[in-house]
Amino acid sequence: MAANDVPCCEPRFWMYLLICVGLVAFAGLMSGLTLGLMSLSLVDLEVLATSGRPDDQKNAAKILPIVKNQHLLLCTLLISNAMAMEALPIFIDALLPAWGAIVISVTLILTFGEIIPQAICSRYGLSVGAKLSVVVRVLLLVLFPLSYPISKLLDWLLGKGHFALLRRAELKTFVDMHGNKAGKGGELTQEETAIITGALDMTLKTARDAMTPLTKLFSLDINSKLNEKTMELILRKGHSRVPIYSGHPTNIIGIILVKNLIKFNPEEETPIRNLTIRKVPRVRENLPLYDILNQFQQGHSHMAVVIKSHNETKEPADSNKLELETATPVTEMELGHIKLQIRNICSNGCSDTDGKSTPDFDEDVIGIITLEDVMEELLQAESEHESKEINIGITRRTSSAMDITSGIPIIFIPSFSTFFFIQSFTNSSFSNSSTYSLPI
């Protein structure tokens, strides 16, 4: 066909002009869909299809089956775009001289075939792709003989498309960017972002990272007595549980609950070995915090003794059971009982010991870990429940009335032992305006 051989305003001229407009529009459509659909990752579409807004869920559900075979879709769109681009100069050359055909074709292709379609589809790719999903399906079917072999070659060379999931560090940054403090329009509060990032970080943390070291641990000897000095020390520390050791602070044999001490009279100096001492599980220092949290949630115990992990005996952490070990020789009957304890980890919340026979654990105890310690790592905030000393002023007015001032309400059970427990402190060598610390 010779250049400019179609006279202006003839029926064939308008037909050629209409074909040129259609080719430019089709090329622009293929170019926009290539950018819009190929920029949507499978992960984003899965998220939108399950938890997006109602419109986004419908659009993602339409696009997802098409985008799953990414190389086939890419080849189909590019072949369609190339066919339109190559056909356009043929018809323009019949309408215009050579120099005019070059200028007009380049201008039309660049403006209406590339820039404008890609600008629109880069912003509204999901909705445009969903509306034109039927057109794309038809093209996939028509051009399948051409695009399928090329797509299989790309699969062999580059591998099939896969879910591009975020790594842990990238996910943390992604969450931080969605916080309202980042100034990017995110809806997550600072507390929400802290909890999410704390949950991600806690996977890499072990018992050693969250425990209270033995050097900072408050504990009592089993041979000590529950006198006024010991009572005052327990109250000032403000802990709800106190570890008990035998002989050496590293030989922790159990704990006592402070709430159970209210019935004891300090003047009687009750030996601690006569109290109910609850056994605690023993965990290796390299046990992941999530495994410890899972065991705490089962109600076995809210405290565990952390022991050192030796390289020669280090084994993969068993998330099913917390260890309760002893080096004391036992009979077969006792061994069976111990194995049952290890299997159930004291299913009733840890067994109690009478204090008469104290076990000697042949282990290197390095600290204590509690449920509160694990939650602090999860929430990324230090709790003040058992670490901050709470001062409560107790002013004695009469022999049977006291004024207790505090920032928190306290309810005492009306009983003789309760009254005697408090009165013994107010009648002792302390002044009438002494300040004590009561556990929460």
Q: Are 160 and 68 in contact (CB under 8 A)?
A: no
pTM: 0.57
By the 10 Å C-beta count (0-12 exposed, 13-18 middle, 19+ buried), 28 is classed as buried
Q: Is 358 in a helix, a strand, or coil?
A: coil
Which residue type sits at 109? I
User: In this structure, which topology does domain 207-379 adopt according to CATH?
Assistant: CBS-domain (3.10.580)
Beta bridge partners of 213: 367
Predicted confidence (pLDDT) at residue 407 exceeds the cutoff of 70: no
| Whole-angstrom distance, CA of residue 255 vs CA of residue 257 | 7
Which of 39-48, 130-139, 202-211, 383-392 comes out lowest in average pLDDT? 383-392
Task: Look at residue 392 and tell me whether its pLDDT is greater than 50.
Answer: no
Beta bridge mates, 230: none
pLDDT in tens, 129-138: 999 999 999 9
pLDDT of residue 105: 83
Q: Are 39 and 125 in contact (CB under 8 A)?
A: yes
pLDDT at 97 exceeding the cut of 90:
no
Q: Where are the domains of the chain?
A: 11-158, 168-202, 207-379, 391-437
Question: CA of 61: how far to CAs of 51, 149, 155, 263, 351, in Å?
Answer: 12, 27, 24, 66, 55
Amino acid at 364: D
| Cα 275–chain centre separation | 41
Residue 66: pLDDT band with limits 50, 70, 90: very high
User: What secondary structure letter does DSSP report for 313?
Assistant: G
Q: In angstroms, how far apart are the furthest CA atoms of the chain?
A: 121
The closest of 317, 307, 359, 369 to 337, measured between CA atoms, is: 359
Q: Which pLDDT tens digit goes with each residue over 315-355?
A: 444 444 443 333 334 445 544 544 444 444 333 334 455 54
Those residues whose C-beta lies under 8 Å from the C-beta of residue 159, and which sit 6 or more positions away, are: none
Q: What is the residue whose two structure tokens read 């109602």?
A: 54
